Structure 1
């Protein structure tokens, strides 16, 4: 009995030692990551058109059938990843039949490119997305079609048969009015219709003839196209090349946008539209006269936009805060119901990691700044892991999503055939970053969570706290639906202490924060201690 008791006592002591060692290990790990993050709040996601969007180039995203090309079923398989990241909207780059890899030259507006799947695959994708609270926006390319589109083929065939001294008759070929045909080469963007003395406009490329959006029968065709996709469950359109519908005719272009938007709202009152107006602040602002909800904010976004400049340190936080107020005041003056659409980069630009010279801290800072913006932020696939691009070649900006460092792993695509083969990311693939709490991916994940916890971030009216806006330090409040939060920014490379006593946020407590490697932000006696390149959210309890 005595020996048995001693044995049991020894076993108990060993077990206690093992438990103590485990506790010490956990404590040590927590200490390394800033003693653990203790501000996670309940999610407060509102079902409206303020969303966190993830831009997907289907071709390079996820391959479900092993042919090396991404597809719609691949997107469906990664919806859980998208949802877990904190996105509740996806923008699919063109999915309609096309002769090119990028598919911005549409051959048929009411079909799916066979490389991507079928209409049933798309319906399934939309249904599965909606089950997860994810809205689906698709690229709507109406500035031009493919030269292989039936409309253009039939129009050119008609012109080849037309007597030289005769003018085209719409009654004989309605499609001749769908494009900009001329007997003269108006400028360098006009190309000859082979076998004729006629020319057609192709602003972007000879194989993408421009549509004549002043043609009412064409507009009706496009409205029917919109109805087709709305019936499929699509929640919105991203309008490609909106400022080029008619060159230097913004009022006409705004009317086209408004007409399509209002048509779609008759079918779905919650329909969303975001338009590409790749121009400076004043032009983007003026396009809100279309009374459509969103324009991509190319003043804040772009490789030389204010968000990336602030992350890099060439623009001060106080200046960015001032720009945020300017966006709010001037956009809302034209369209009170506007929803800003900020972004960092997209499929036409070099990636963030390249622009910021693979500086992980600056890359995180850029993502954090984006996620504190009003409106609906858009994140280009792969930015959440710091993927690379190379040079100005478009294919190099649209390479295979790095789900794994193993190119033969399940779902990995080959990407565009003409992309350079030596584009290597400085950062790990998704599988490894998911396991690293200090990765770029997990930084994005927390930033998106903060956004989903605090609806004021996207929707709140911004007020500057002037006394706290100086240099690389800035502070604002955002008020929405009777609730106010404070956001304090430190975009410098130094630890700073911000005295918030006597300000509009003096009675607030820390609600959450973003730091580069899980360092802690502290508030004591009105003094907010902020590590380098950090953002803090405060709110009254």
Structure 2
């Protein structure tokens, strides 16, 4: 495997609107981020991914960009951004931007010009199509519900939007549009960003005929993903994007990819793939309902473990490193989603973190994950801001659920769970703002916050610092970066265990998600305890020799990392 500068790094996603407010307007900003760089450095973070900070009407929280070259005034100025780049560089840290190039805002200059002249140059920057028999050009349902086609006022035409109607899709078949996008990407790379997280990128390839497909719902529509899955040729566009931009700068790129075809992983992130890496969503997609969030099914531990292990082996098989996550801005909190009820406590949260951070691949933490932040209790649909949550609430009501049932179903998966303000201290508004926060603060901030956890050596935060320090230590950096991933004890329900092996050395991670004590027979004769999620779990308590075999005994929520010796 050819070594790259980003292979041994730890990344951290910041949702700027919710990170830290420096000017008391209730919205997080760039100056708030600058003020917390030392906190992130001490945590062990190398790469900071910023969710969109571009100028935007914020219909979809900044993923509707109206000017790719401007910072949204809510977040600050371009001077603030330049200062952030400079301060990060001083600390040996890298900033990556969120790249949203499947669509833009309907307030973008390009789209405004397209509306003004639906037959002109800029209309071809988008997908304008005539209706069929007085109806939309095709029967696609958008990601946020309803038709993907919006009528163009005063004409017989419609424009395509796979997300909200305020997010028209860009036409990647147009060479002029592509050149505009490539120039923009290079402008940011010239400025000094280290790369990009690339949003919804597989959607850029469309079938320009936009054929109808059989409906998959009572609304007579079919998910727009059907067209994405059927169309060929996205690889050619992605390779052109890479050659014209990322490759020239040695940029780090992490792609958000759904609906990829089975044989495309090597093409996407292999040795000479389109991207440096891509997020592993193998666990996140398990609970998806066929009709909406309301019919999402519970996922068993065995399914969850099997999905992650299979994904690890798949990436290893082609010599690539995936990006490993527990949560992000589009997902509920991992501590509330993946832990059984008996493990939803600080020890369980540390256990979950360990099994993720030490996998093969690049760990991506999401803000507040290192504190053990959880889903937020929401009591009415009015408390939500997220456009997708509101759509799923409507879908649940239309399916016959009561208001209470619909709220409960959507609250579990709402994206607002991860977007509540960062919890800095136990003071007013969790120390996030001296103003009125744009979204409610999770009431558990009085016990789950940075200030209190920094003063508690047994806290989730202090544990994450030790966990990341182990991964990046001189002695174990190579094995955790390039070591082979080997699943272990798969026959035992409730045990999440694997080893990392390199050059004759072997480190094992073992965690007990079950409600009963488990005893594991280990392959080595001796072991050295490197880390455990409880200060009381000493080497002598965990490990013992029985008839020449080494064994480890794990109580519920116990997690240990140890090096094995022959």
Q: TM-score range by the shorter chain?
A: 0.7 to 0.9
Distance in 2 of aligned mates of 1:51 and 1:250: 35
Counterpart in 2 of 1:176? Answer: 123
Is 1:189 equivalent to 2:148 in the alignment? yes
Measure how far apart 1:297 and its partner are. Answer: 0.6
d(CA) in 1 for partners of 2:432, 2:446 = 21
In structure 2, the residue matched to 1:235 is: 194
- Between 104-113 and 525-534, report the one with greater CA deviation: 525-534
Which of 18, 36, 40 is 1:82 aligned to? 40
* Alignment equivalent of 1:376, drawn from 345, 362, 365: 362
Q: Secondary structure at the match of 1:377?
A: strand
Contact map agreement 2:24 2:435 (CA 8 A) in 1:
no
Partners of 2:333 and 2:417 within 8 A in 1: no
Question: Could you tell me whether the CA contact under 8 Å between 2:282 and 2:311 is conserved in 1?
Answer: no
**The 10-residue stretch of structure 1 (428-437 or 290-299) with the greater mean CA deviation from structure 2:** 290-299
Measure the CA separation in 2 of the matches of 1:315 and 1:433: 29
- 2:184 pairs with one of 221, 225, 231: 225
Rounded Cα–Cα distance in structure 1 between residues aligned with 2:18 and 2:34? 14
Q: Which residues of 2 match residues 396-415 of structure 1 at below 5 A?
A: 396-407=417-428, 411-412=432-433
Whole-angstrom CA distance in 2 between matches of 1:178 and 1:56: 31
- Partner of residue 506, structure 1: 525
8 Å contact from structure 1 (residues 300, 343) kept in 2: no
Match of 1:115 in 2: 74
Contact 2:45/2:93 (<8 A) preserved: yes
User: Which residue of structure 1 lines up, in the alignment, with residue 453 of structure 2?
Assistant: 433
The Cα of 1:100 is off from its aligned counterpart by: 0.8
- Taking the aligned partners of 2:51 and 2:436, their CA distance within structure 1 comes to 14
Could you list the per-position Cα deviations for residues 43-93 of structure 1 after superposition, in whole angstroms to 9, with x for gaps in the alignment? xx9953342111111111012233322111211111111111122111100
The structure number with the bigger radius of gyration is: 1
Rounded to whole Å, the distance in 1 between the matches of 2:129 and 2:90 is: 50
Matching residue within 465, 485, 499 for 1:445: 465
Corresponding residue for residue 89 of structure 2: 130
The one of 296, 301, 319 equivalent to 2:279 is 296
Q: SS where residue 196 of structure 2 aligns?
A: strand
* Paired residues of 1:55 and 1:91 also in contact (CA < 8 A): yes
In the TM superposition, what are the counterparts of 1:111-510 in structure 2 within 5 Å?
111-159=70-118, 168=119, 173-184=120-131, 185-187=136-138, 188-245=147-204, 246=206, 247-248=228-229, 251-269=232-250, 271-278=251-258, 282=262, 285=265, 288=268, 291-301=274-284, 304=287, 314-316=300-302, 320=305, 326-333=310-317, 335-336=318-319, 338-355=320-337, 356=339, 358-387=344-373, 388-389=375-376, 390=378, 391=411, 392-407=413-428, 411-412=432-433, 417=438, 419-420=439-440, 424-425=444-445, 427-453=447-473, 454-455=476-477, 456-464=479-487, 470-473=492-495, 475-480=497-502, 482=503, 484-491=505-512, 492-500=514-522, 503=523, 505-506=524-525, 509-510=527-528
CA contact (8 A) 1:400 1:413 kept: no
Work out the CA distance in 2 between the residues paired with 1:280 and 1:345: 20
**Residues 284, 513 of structure 1: CA spacing in aligned structure 2 closer, same or farther, 3 A cutoff?**
farther
1:401 deviates by 0.8
- Alpha-carbon shift at residue 328 of structure 1 (Å): 4.1
Q: Which string of whole-angstrom CA distances, capped at 9 and with x for unpartnered residues, describes residues 134-191 of structure 1?
A: 22111100111000000000011012xxxxxxxx3xxxx4322110001112232100
Q: 1:412 to 1:302 in 2, by over 3 A?
A: farther
User: Offset of 1:353 from its aligned partner?
Assistant: 3.6
- Relative to the length of structure 2, the TM-score reads 0.74
**CA 1:136–1:540 in 2, change beyond 3 Å: closer, same or farther?**
farther
Cα distance in 1, alignment partners of residues 280 and 268 from structure 2: 11
For residues 444 and 142 of structure 1, what CA distance do their matches in structure 2 show?
Answer: 34
CA distance in 1, matches of 2:533, 2:198: 35
RMSD over aligned CA atoms reads: 3.2
Structure 1 stretches lacking a partner, 5+ long: 1-44, 160-167, 306-311
- Looking at structure 1, the residues matched to 367 and 96 of structure 2 have their Cα atoms a distance apart, in angstroms, of 15
Secondary structure, aligned partner of 1:234: coil
Whole-Å separation in 1 of the counterparts to 2:90 and 2:564 = 32
Alpha-carbon distance, 1:254 to partner: 3.0
SS at match of 1:225: helix
Counterpart Cα distance in 1 of 2:115 and 2:525: 70
CA–CA distance in structure 2, aligned partners of residues 346 and 239 of structure 1: 14
Aligned residues: 467
User: How far does residue 434 in structure 1 lie from its aligned partner after superposition?
Assistant: 1.1
Conserved 8 A contact 1:475-1:486: no
- The alpha carbon displacement at 1:94 in A equals 0.5
TM-score by length of 1: 0.78
1:229 alignment partner, SS class: helix
Distance in 1 between residues matched to 2:431 and 2:446, nearest whole Å: 22
Partner of 1:534: 559
Report 1:7-86 matches (<5 A). 47-86=5-44
What is the deviation of 1:286?
A: 7.1
- Unaligned runs of 5+ residues in structure 2 are 139-146, 207-227, 289-297, 379-410
For the Cα contact (< 8 Å) 2:347–2:533, is it kept in 1?
A: no
Q: C-alpha displacement at 1:490, in angstroms?
A: 3.1
CA contact (8 A) 2:282 2:308 kept: no
Contact 1:401/1:412 (<8 A) preserved: no
